[in-house]
Each structure stands twice: as C-alpha cells, then as structure tokens.
Structure 1
Amino acid sequence: MDMTREYQNGAFIPGSETMPALWAKKANAFRESLGSRARLDLSYGPAPRNCFDLFLPETTPRGLMVFIHGGYWISTDKSLWSHLAAGALARGWACALPGYTLAPDARIAQITAEVEAAITAACAEVAGPLVITGHSAGGHLTARMANPGRNATLTERLHRVVPISPLSELEPLAETDMQAKLQLDAAEIATESPARHALTTQAHIWVGGSERPAFLWQARTLSENWNCAWTVDSGTHHFNVIDALESPDSPLINTCLDNL
C-alpha cells in the first residue's frame, strides 16, 4: 500500500488548489470585522511562531475554545483559520488559535509541548471552562491535550476535546514522503500517538464522511481506544468538514460547546 497516497487529501478534492486563497480572504475579513476584539500574535515563548491569536466576544466570555490548525505539522499557519472562531464568538465564547513551530524545525513532541504552552497562556487571558478542538494534525494535538501528563492548568480547566479528522496513530505517517521532515522514530510514535494513551476528559471525535479511508480509520481508532463517541459528518471532505465551526448553531459547534 502506498501510504503517501493514502494520506493525500487535495489530490482527491476537486478545486482544492483554490481553497487556501479563500481561507486567507475569509480569515482576514473576520479579523478586520472584530477590530480591538482581535488580539493578534500574543507571545507565549521565544520561537518566531510561539504566539497565539485571541478573539473575544462582545460580552464577558463564557469560557475559552481553542482551535489548533492542521497541515501535517509541516505547513499552514494560524492566520488562515481566524474565521473558524465565528461560531464560538457568537455563542459568547472567546476563541484562541495557537501558532507553533513547524517540522523539520521541530519534532512532533516539541510541537505538542509548544501547543500546551500556548493554551496555558491563553487560559491566563480568559476565565471559565476550556474546550479544545483542532483539525488533522491539529486534531492530533487536540487529542494529545487530553492524554495524561498535561500541566495543572489544562488538567483543571479542560472540560472537553473535539478532535476533527485527527491523526491519532502516527506509525503509518512514517511510511509517507512526509517522513523526510517528520523524522518519526519508534519512541516518538509511541509517545505521540494519542490513541495509545488514556483519555482524561470528555471527548467526541468528528470526521468527514467523504474523507480518505485512512482518516476514517484514524478517527475510528481513536474513538474505539478512548471508548468515546464519534460522528461521521455525511457529505463533508477533509477541507470543508471544519466549515461548521463558523456557525453558532451547527452540530459541530453544539458538540464542542453544549452543556458547558
């Protein structure tokens, strides 16, 4: 089996080459619409990408939702995804989007640690319950925040994780062309595969029904190993499954924020 092909997404989504420009346009418009309620590039560490964006609702936040971007740990940036905070803000929640160092400049274990530090810093800015969601590699990082060993802030504040199309078992990734940058070894695969570790909070796994079989397998593996619910979102693919985060009434936002 060609693992590189199994984990390709754009090649199987018509028009995928036009999507990054659309994301960037929507994200920029969203930031501009918020004015001073968009607090950008707040530092949490010394590296150039060690910063997060924090978007605030019009009233005192009910809590903090974090969205962690994907890109196989090797590409994209938090600035492409600002508009995905819209649903949370409309529900009265603040939303933080962390940046992190990309591979090969950082190994996945370092990226996990950076994201934990970013979320901890965001928690210092916003009181209330914490919900973490993220997409693809960001779904992996979301799931890692729900494994044992996190710091006291996350342990005490985290109420729910919703990994979207997560990469929960990393061993197959070592057989793809991305391995040249990821440099995964057996020890890091064992440590950084969230499906191999316990769940410490509430969780619900989300995945698009029209995704590559590998991503459906990854999502199901995590839900089975964690013994938690999972939703196969009919008709959505890897690049539009996250669009529902823009809507305050979508089933995905409800899964993230209901009953909190």
Structure 2
Amino acid sequence: MPELPEVETTINELKSIVLNKNINKIILNTDSLRKPINKKKIKKIEGLKIINVSRRGKYIIISFTNDYILLIHLGMSGRLIFRKDKLVINKHDHIVFFIKKNFYIILNDPRKFGLVDVFLKKDLKNCNHLKNLGVEPLTKEFSFFYLKNALLKRKSNIKTFLLNQKIIAGLGNIYVCESLFESNISPFQIAKNLKRKQISLLCLKIKKVLQYAINLKGSSISDFKLPSGLLGKFQNKFKVYDREGKICKRKGCKEMIIRSVINGRSTYYCKKCQKM
C-alpha cells in the first residue's frame, strides 16, 4: 500500500494541481527514507517548471524542464499532501516542495519506506528502480498471450506470481486478492497449471478490478488519502480483502472468507468460489 490505483489516483490529482507550475523551493527534513537522500540532486529541480506527471508501476514520475525527472515511491505508508496555507511541519513531513508562498506539496511517510530521487530523462529508463519492471497491466501489452507465456514453467503459486513486479508492474496485495476472487482462482493454484480459460479470465479481471478501483479513487485503508485529503472508496467494495470471517459476497455462497499467509503476505479468499 499504496498500489497501482492509489498511485494513479495521486498522479491524476497532482496534474490538476502542479502542472505547468514551478518548484521554487525545497525543504528537506530528513537525511533518508528507504535510502539516503541525495540533497544535492534533489535541489537541482528548484526553479524548474513541471511539464508532466506520470506513473510507472508504483512510482510517480514528475518531469521538469531541462530534462530532469523527480521519481517518488510512496512505500508502505507514504502520501503526498497538497496545502494552501501557512506552512506547518507535522510529524513525518519529510520533504516540502514549495510552488509559491503558502502553496506547497508535502511528502509524509510515517514508516519511511518511501523513496525520492532525481534523474536526467535520458537515464530514467535504465535506472535501478525502473529497468526491471514488468508490463503495465492496463496496457495492451498485458494480454492473454503475455500472461500465458509468463506462466510457462512457473512453479510458484499464482498469488506470488502476480505480486512479482518484474512480471506485472504495480499489482499489490489488495488487487491480487480481489482479482483472483473475481476469476474463481485459488491463490494456492500453481501458476503453470492454469488453464487457457482461467488465464483469459484472470487477465480480464485484473484490468477490470484495477480500473474500477481507479474510478473510485483507490482504497483508503491505513494511511492513504489523496493529496487533497479526500478518501478513496474502493475499500467499500472489497469482496475478500480484509474480510476474514465474513460471509462471501457472491450470490448463493454462504462460506466465510478465509485469511492465510503466503510468503509473509495476508491472503484472503473463499474456499468454495476459489477451489483448487
């Protein structure tokens, strides 16, 4: 958390706030997040105009004039906060990007698992953070044929496979659990053993679940809010995630949702709807 829909929702809101505006000043209140912050590199974007805001996997990409790129990963608990009043630094407010006086964006990250770095545009594609990321699931490249080929000889369970960022970029625990439920696939199913119909349905449901979550501004559980402070609403539509012990929402099913742990991650599923 945040996952692809939360990051997509964040960049959509950022575009309406900061596009074609300058970052006039940056205040750094910490020396490190997940990794040490190179303050000299971060300061290179002071005075530059923001010309685009985009996403790759779970990374936010802010493009500036002079071909500089600000790369942000929100980690486990990070969020960007838009404020339009006198600056007040609260706990866990690690970086402040001033657009003008009393108009700024704050990176708040209680657990400090986030990441901030600056690159030249020509170096971004091959930087260590992005170069090994897999296909974007909402693009045409993520298709039945891509998924079918990626599954060949994979001996891991399908849940672990789908969380591999080198295969599919941006998918996280929430949306993997929900997509597997919608596809009637057990999270314990061995990846290479999926049938053609299962692969086709899973590809379709991943796209559908992600787009629906984006339409509802993501899932506001734990720390996530939009930069404006608004909450996402997809958490109100969860069918399995975080519903341990509750009755399955599928019509005609009266089984309770089960929580198991797969590779250290909570996994929610219905044993009747998602049979092995």
Q: Normalized against structure 1, the TM-score is what?
A: 0.29
Judging by fraction of residues, say which structure has more helix: 1
Q: Normalized against structure 2, the TM-score is what?
A: 0.28
